[in-house]
Structure 1
Amino acid sequence: MRLGITMFATDRTMAAHELAVAAEERGFASLYLPEHTHIPVSRATPAPATHEASGAEPGMLRGVNGDETLPESYARALDPFVALAAAAAVTSTITLGTGVALIAQREPLVTAKAIASLQHLSGGRFVLGIGYGWNVEEAADHGVRWSLRRDLVRENVLAMRALWTDEVASFKGEHVGFEPSWSWPKASVPVLLGGVGGPRLLAAIAEFGDGWMPVGGAGMRETLPKLAAAYEAAGRDPSTARIVPFGTLPNAAKLEYYATLGVEEVVLRVNGGPREEILATLDAYTAFL
């Protein structure tokens, strides 16, 4: 089983490219970084129940609309594509991914170019983990109507896939469109969708994704047959779906359980902090390699 790591890389943590080097040296297979452009101070959206699995540092932010708090790493997160490009320059084997990128909040032409460039420069080591987001106010500042965010993610991914694969690419959707265009470099980019494995997410994975990133892994045994059924309904081979449990605090029993489900990669949570603390965590995790 491949073991990777995820951490909120911020301006106060160990540098992401140094973390990538340290992880690769110790035999970890992957590094995933999350994305948040900003956190509105007037946030009314409750903090996600899964933020404990995010690898966020302990400092907290308090919104002005109530007592709800959020780890400050959400507001300090580095741009993952920039950070992973720096990591690609100083590593050679480790997989580099987003966990997760908020694709509804991104313009697809620019994002497709950035991802294709990163895939080219990294020698094909990039994986695009995406999510629908949870912060209504953050999305609104990007012009995203909350009820349409799933549709935006779908169209953005389909538009980017056209740019990555077609010699002359074009796309026309309800929310996204561009005329026949040239855009290089071309790229093969695995797309993994994060989130709770409900029917809409599973159908989306089967339509335009390459796998699922369940946070924490709860309910996987019951959900995997439903994902297989969604793949079959879409005319795809269920055995090709990549299942990557995300933000896991490891123990031997948990990893063995994942292995019995056929999981080939697990991403372990590393809390943000100074270099010495992070390296100590990585060293402790090597016991599971």
Structure 2
Amino acid sequence: MSKTQHPNLVHIGTCSFLPDTKRLLHTNGEQWDLPRAECQVLTLLVAERGRPVDKLRLRCGEFDQPQVGESAVARAVFQLRNFLEDEDHTLIETIKGVGYRLANEPQAGSAEQQIASPSVDSVEPQPSLAAIKPQPAQEKPTRVPWWVRNRALSLLLVGVLLVLLLLTHASYFIRTQASSGFEPRQISHGDVTLHWYSPSTGHGLDQQALSDRILKSLAQCPEAPWESVYIALSSDQQGLSVTLVGHDEGGQLKLRNLKVVDTRLRGDFAPEQWFQKGGLCD
């Protein structure tokens, strides 16, 4: 694939491109040694300055087969525009449905001016203007994550995931009942019903005493939203899972999952401080 011979120094707005060293220089003294994709894209745009270059050719560079992906080309164009900054980033124009073009500058040398013949420029100004105007609006959104721009939607998604997580945890008791083959014990006190999903024998836990303590603690709450309490003892008898289910004043489902761990031989799964710190009345 034949290429136009580059000069040693190519001016691109306030920047200068050195093809030999693959370096882009800014008037403020900043230098950028271009990575492979950025160098390949800029070299070809400079060689075809004033003329659109399709994306496939930008991917191939001086080779017959693509050397980089389409996303790498788009990222390279974005990085080059970012280095050129606000005054000059529009020199790299987006040609819709084709690719990109490096625009000519009035002050550029005759070598660049001669590339854009009247027959080509006479039909290309319209795509150029259309590409320049919307360009800032296209690039800026990529700098702001979507979850920041759509904070309300993000909070809604987090809420939905939290509810699903709580429901999944609560379904543990249903699965325990189906797999263990015994009916859960139900103990009622006032408006609260306690459901045990563990056998009443085969362990050292006094289920009745623990049930009474939990129900009496809930009865002391002036306006507790809980209607049902589901309890299951772990297989190693060192952990107790508690799920409280109820409805708030607005009628919305309210869940709370608690887990108490006691590795002692006869663990106390309902110490006094557990009721105080657990906030069972909230």
**Shared fold per TM-score greater than 0.5:** no
Higher relative contact order (CA 8 A, sep 6+): 1
Q: Which TM-score applies when normalising by structure 2?
A: 0.23
> Based on CA coordinates, which of the two structures has the bigger radius of gyration?
2
